[in-house]
């Protein structure tokens, strides 16, 4: 982590991927992020993947470096405490992030603004029309499943993307929204409510990449092309030892290098002449993707992955091996402590393992190891005393009343 955001404090009420990721993104840059959850854990406390003992690796992965407050937010006294925490005075404070429904009641912007006029609140919604949505329902509405995994089938079957890409983009945009609103407040003294919809993240990117315009201007419904790279050249290949790799060409230099290194120039020239194409144009390479791949498949099938890697080393060929998660951890030095982004940490209740810090690398700051995710309610007493100024007697009373707890073993 870095300390570039030291002095910024964000209170978070969140679940699942996007909102927790936004908070962790800020925490790994030095912000003080306080996540509050129900005393028995939030709705994402048991999300898979989990350990054999049922501990959520998912939750631990998305909440590194935060402080945790376990509190019964359904009780008026607890709501009062949370309102004070969210709207606390001071520079860098008064910032609230949530992806839970917060349009009315004590957690609404209007209610919290009564406590602090320049409050900043970022509310992540599912759909911009107000309906419930998650990454997987947004993805299926954005066209991509019909061009994923299919190759010109008569009746294409939708294939959902395993990676929650829209959640990931939403989390980063949520962090960006907080920083932009905080900068505006420092310059003008004005707080604000910022709304961000997961559906808008997906549809904006769909438009930015030209998919919407392709339908409107060309009146063309994009088909699936399997692993061929649309509009350029790319395909998957199997090696003699049963491994897989992907080769991609997006520049003429890459194309020339690929032909030179694999020595398939004669076969490529024949394809070019047969179809009256010019492979200096990437669109022509795309149109002939299947035929171009035939001599390359034969070339790869005669070599092991190690031999191909040695052949491609120090050339202009752009390629990469396919790896399972296990192969990635075992083989790729970029996913190890050889990469400064990674460190090993001891996660309470789980054990010692490899975790990433921020992918950003600030030249003016020294990278520090990531901090573990907190136990549920690990910082309850600290937050109540240091941040809210409660005495030990008052904290004891809240605990006896069942309003707060921690550290808590999630059942």
Look at residue 387 and tell me if it is in a domain.
yes
Q: Over the stretch 267-313, which tens digit does the pLDDT of each residue have?
A: 999 999 999 999 999 999 999 999 999 999 999 999 999 999 999 99
Same domain membership, residue 387 and residue 259: no
Whole-number pLDDT of residue 10: 98
Q: Residue 331 domain-assigned?
A: no
Instruction: Supply the angle between the helices 198-208 and 165-188 in degrees, to the nearest 10.
Output: 100
Indicate if 81 and 189 belong to the same structural domain: yes
* pLDDT score, position 364: 96
**Residues 317, 353: one domain?**
no
Res 205: pLDDT:
98
In angstroms, the CA 48 to CA 350 distance is: 14
74 occurs within a structural domain: yes
Task: Give this prediction's pTM.
Answer: 0.95
Mean pLDDT of the chain: 96
* Same domain as 250, residue 154: no
Q: Which of 347, 360, 374 is nearest to 172 (CA)?
A: 360
Task: Write down the pLDDT at residue 64.
Answer: 98
Q: What is the pLDDT of residues 355-399, one digit of tens each?
A: 999 999 999 999 999 999 999 999 999 999 999 999 999 999 999
Residue 351: inside a domain = yes
Contact status, residue 181 vs residue 213, Cβ threshold 8 Å: no
Provide the domain limits for residue 254.
244-321
Q: Where are the alpha helices (DSSP H) in 87-230?
A: 109-113, 135-141, 165-188, 198-208, 211-218
Q: How far apart are CA 184 and CA 163, in angstroms?
A: 33
Q: Is 301 left (phi over 0), alpha (psi -120 to 50) or beta?
A: alpha
Where are the alpha helices (H) located in 40-154, listed in sequence order? 57-62, 76-86, 109-113, 135-141
* Bridge partners, 233 (sequence order): 249
Mean pLDDT by 10 residues, the chain (411 residues): 95 97 98 97 96 96 98 98 98 97 94 98 96 95 91 82 96 98 98 98 98 95 93 98 98 98 98 97 97 98 98 98 98 98 96 98 95 98 98 98 94 71
Q: Strands 244-249 and 318-321: what pairing?
A: antiparallel
Give the pLDDT score at 171: 98
Same domain, 22 and 50: yes
Residue 124: its pLDDT value, please?
A: 97
Q: Are residues 287 and 381 in the same domain?
A: no
Instruction: Please give the pLDDT value at position 251.
Output: 98
Which tokens in the block code for residue 65? 């470096």
pLDDT value of residue 400: 98
Residues marked as catalytic: 167
In the chain, the number of structural domains is 2
Residues 70 and 190 in one domain: yes
């Amino acid at each position: 982590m870095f300390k570039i955001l030291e002095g910024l404090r964000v209170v978070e009420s969140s679940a699942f991927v996007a909102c927790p990721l936004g908070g962790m993104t800020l925490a790994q840059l030095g912000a003080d992020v306080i996540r509050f959850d129900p005393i028995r854990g939030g709705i994402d406390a048991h999300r898979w993947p989990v350990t054999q003992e049922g501990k959520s690796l998912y939750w631990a992965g998305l909440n590194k470096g935060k402080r945790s407050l376990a509190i019964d937010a359904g009780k008026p006294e607890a709501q009062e405490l949370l309102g004070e925490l969210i709207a606390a005075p001071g520079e860098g404070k008064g910032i609230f992030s949530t992806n839970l429904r917060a349009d009315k009641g004590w957690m609404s912007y209007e209610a919290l603004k009564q406590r602090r006029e320049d409050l900043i609140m970022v509310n992540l919604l599912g759909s911009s029309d107000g309906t419930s949505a998650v990454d997987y329902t947004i993805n299926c509405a954005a066209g991509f499943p019909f061009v994923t995994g299919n190759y010109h089938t008569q009746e294409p079957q939708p294939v959902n993307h395993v990676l929650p890409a829209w959640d990931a983009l939403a989390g980063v945009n949520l962090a960006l929204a907080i920083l932009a609103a905080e900068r505006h407040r420092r310059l003008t003294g004005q707080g604000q409510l910022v709304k961000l919809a997961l559906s808008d993240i997906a549809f904006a990117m769909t438009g930015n990449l030209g998919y919407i315009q392709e339908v409107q201007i060309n009146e063309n419904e994009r088909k699936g092309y399997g692993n061929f790279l649309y509009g350029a050249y790319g395909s998957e290949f199997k090696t003699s030892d049963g491994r897989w790799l992907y080769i991609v060409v997006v520049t003429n230099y890459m194309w020339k290098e690929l032909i030179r290194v694999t020595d398939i120039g004669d076969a490529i020239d024949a394809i070019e002449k047969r179809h009256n194409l010019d492979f200096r144009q990437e669109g022509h390479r795309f149109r002939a993707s299947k035929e171009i791949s035939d001599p390359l498949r034969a070339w790869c099938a005669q070599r092991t992955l190690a031999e191909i890697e040695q052949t491609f080393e120090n050339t202009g060929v752009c390629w990469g091996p396919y790896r399972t998660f296990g192969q990635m951890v075992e083989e790729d030095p970029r996913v190890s402590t050889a990469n400064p982004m990674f460190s090993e940490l001891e996660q309470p209740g789980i054990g010692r393992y490899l975790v990433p810090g921020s992918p950003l690398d600030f030249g003016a700051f020294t990278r520090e190891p990531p901090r573990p995710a907190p136990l549920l309610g690990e910082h309850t007493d600290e937050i109540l005393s240091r941040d809210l100024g409660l005495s030990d007697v008052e904290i004891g009373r809240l605990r006896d009343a069942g309003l707060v707890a921690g550290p808590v073993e999630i059942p």
